[in-house]
Amino acid sequence: MSPNNVLTTASGAPVADNQNSRSAGPRGPLLLDDFQLIEKLAHFNRENIPERRVHAKGSGAYGSFTVTRDISDFTRARLFESVGKQTPVFLRFSTVGGERGSADTERDPRGFAVKFYTEEGNWDIVGNNTPVFFIRDPLKFPDFIHSQKRLAQSNLKSAQAMWDFWSYTPEALHQITILFSDRGIPDGYRHMHGFGSHTYSLINAKGERHWVKWHFKTQQGIRNLTPEAAARLAGTDPDYAQRDLFNAIERGNFPRWNVFIQVMSEAQAAGHEQNPFDVTQTWSQKAFPLVKVGELELNRNPLNYFAEVEQAAFAPSNLVPGVGLSPDRMLQGRVFAYADAQRYRVGTNYQQLPVNAPRSPVNHHQRDGAMAFGSNGGAAPNYEPNSNAEAPKQSRQHGEPALALEGAADRYDQRSDTDYYSHAGALFRLMSDQQRTLLLNNIAGSMAGVSVEVVRHQLQHFFKADPAYGEGIAQALGMPLNQAPGHSKQTR
């Protein structure tokens, strides 16, 4: 037998018998010194790492990003330095609120997270298939997710909790309108757009900063599922989106996205009436048109789901010179929360795993921790400054230009901007009659069984976005208009 075919323990020792446990006689009890038995059972008990609190169920694939336009006026990032340049990527799609065993066809936003393995380190864009989000302050994120998850007593999801929270969160209405529209249930992952959602920044060689929004437009065309089709697939093929993505790539039908940016100068942002860092609102594409900068293709499936998809770790704190963050409150919160979640979920050294490891040199002073790979830094000092001429040193040339800040530190009311409704109302008015009917029926169906108090509280938001929006929901719920808060003859 070839040495390559000999079964071994994790420590490399050959296994003589993998069919029978050691026992005291043929009928006797098992023995504690059966290391193979203990190792197999102990490892089995630990095969599942804690699932992500959000985006638990996902699919992923490898591919490449190709530059199609010179944007050196905006960024010094080397992955954009020449037209035609390619950078390897890993993209993970996901549902947001469901557990790992949930159906791919639930009405839910879809995660769209891209890891660029650049020559200057890993850069992550951690976004969704929607350009906005439900909340604008990370202090409310645990509350929002708790309202979407299972109740403490019954362990059941609750429409009452969901709409109760939303009725007190008017800034969520824009995302709600998207979620319950005809685009609320994408037909797999290949036929949907992706968005960075947040405002990010690009920094050029002159040290000039521009604010940007990232858009990934599917070349496959938008396709969505009806509620009826989604429910059928949830019962017959709950892994529908994952199967579709995997099989398409295996067939050589590689999905592609056109990559665009919207660009806003710091001066434009300072004079902009709308807060450009509010993730519950979009930027006007008339004022800030889409600029195509590249194409993204997925062309290789992972060989092992757990190693490459489940352990894939994304964080907006993964940046490279020439790309940066912004004062977006939600983005600022995610910079901490995402990396911290990976340290808890996967482990202290999660960035050393192959799917997360940079393709560029790594030189730092972090040592030890569970599952440290390689030499653990060897004999090199793990402090800085030091007298070792070969030790890594800081490089000021890679720093960002100063960002001017002002104002006294305080807990400023994030709702001082009360424009919760204009974007949702504009989206509603853009819809066709068929799209509006579907939206109204979807929302009414979701609110079935919700208390009258919560329904009445939420209805006022629909009316403020557009009178026809509120009237349609009230009628779909069977509520007389004279009992609907926010309705009046003047609104008709």
Q: If residue 102 lies in a helix (H) or strand (E), which one and from where to where?
A: none
Cis, bond preceding 138 (omega within 30 deg of 0): no
Q: Is residue 37 part of a domain?
A: yes
Q: If residue 395 lies in a helix (H) or strand (E), which one and from where to where?
A: none
For residue 146 the two structure tokens come to 């708790």
- Quick one: DSSP state of residue 415? T
Is 198 in the same domain as 331? Answer: yes
Alpha carbons 487 and 470: distance in angstroms, whole number: 8
- Across-strand partners of 292? 260
Residues of the chain where predicted confidence (pLDDT) is lower than 50: 490-492
Q: What is the CATH number of the domain that holds 15?
A: 4.10.91.20
pTM: 0.92
Q: Is residue 439 part of a domain?
A: yes
Is 263 in the same domain as 283? Answer: yes
Q: Is residue 359 part of a domain?
A: no
Max CA-CA distance within the chain? 89
In one-letter notation, the amino acid at residue 153 is: Q
Active-site residue, from 18, 45, 122, 128 = 128
Residues 6+ away with beta carbon under 8 Å from 43: 10
Cis, bond preceding 385 (omega within 30 deg of 0): yes
Is 94 in the same domain as 105? Answer: yes
Q: Please give the pLDDT value at position 1.
A: 64
Of the three residues 26, 47, 68, the one that is the final residue of a domain is 47
Residue 32 burial (CB count, 10 A) = 9
Q: Please give the pLDDT value at position 2.
A: 67
Is 295 in the same domain as 425? Answer: no
Residues 87-139 have pLDDT tens digits of: 999 999 999 999 999 999 999 999 999 999 999 999 999 999 999 999 999 98
Q: Give residue 100's Cα distance to chain centre.
A: 15
Q: Give residue 15's Cα distance to chain centre.
A: 43
Active-site residue, from 55, 174, 461, 487 = 55
Q: What is the CATH number of the domain that holds 253?
A: 2.40.180.10
Is 32 in the same domain as 69? Answer: no
Contact 168, 457 (CB under 8 A): yes
Is 255 in the same domain as 166? Answer: no
Active site residue 128: yes
Q: Is residue 379 part of a domain?
A: no
Total structural domains within the chain: 3
The dihedral built from the CA positions of residue 77, 80, 86 and 88, taken in this order, carries a sign that is positive
Is 256 in the same domain as 274? Answer: yes
Contact 447, 462 (CB under 8 A): no
Is 220 in the same domain as 342? Answer: yes
Is 19 in the same domain as 84? Answer: no
Contact 217, 258 (CB under 8 A): yes
Q: Is residue 360 part of a domain?
A: no
177 closest CA partner among 451, 469, 475, 479: 469
86 closest CA partner among 329, 299, 321, 397: 299
Is 461 in the same domain as 489? Answer: yes
Range of the domain at 312: 58-129+186-352
Question: Roughly how many angstroms between the first and final C-alpha of the chain, as a whole number?
Answer: 83
- Quick one: DSSP state of residue 397? G
Q: Please give the pLDDT value at position 488.
A: 64
Q: Please give the pLDDT value at position 46.
A: 82
Alpha carbons 94 and 127: distance in angstroms, whole number: 10
Is 125 in the same domain as 208? Answer: yes
Active site residue 55: yes
Q: Is residue 376 part of a domain?
A: no
Q: What is the CATH number of the domain that holds 448?
A: 1.20.1370.60
Q: Is residue 372 part of a domain?
A: no
Is 345 in the same domain as 460? Answer: no
Of the three residues 328, 352, 376, the one that is the final residue of a domain is 352
Q: Is residue 228 part of a domain?
A: yes
Residue 182 in 3-state DSSP? coil
In one-letter notation, the amino acid at residue 400 is: E
Q: Please give the pLDDT value at position 460.
A: 94
Residues 52-80 have pLDDT tens digits of: 999 999 999 999 999 999 999 999 999 99
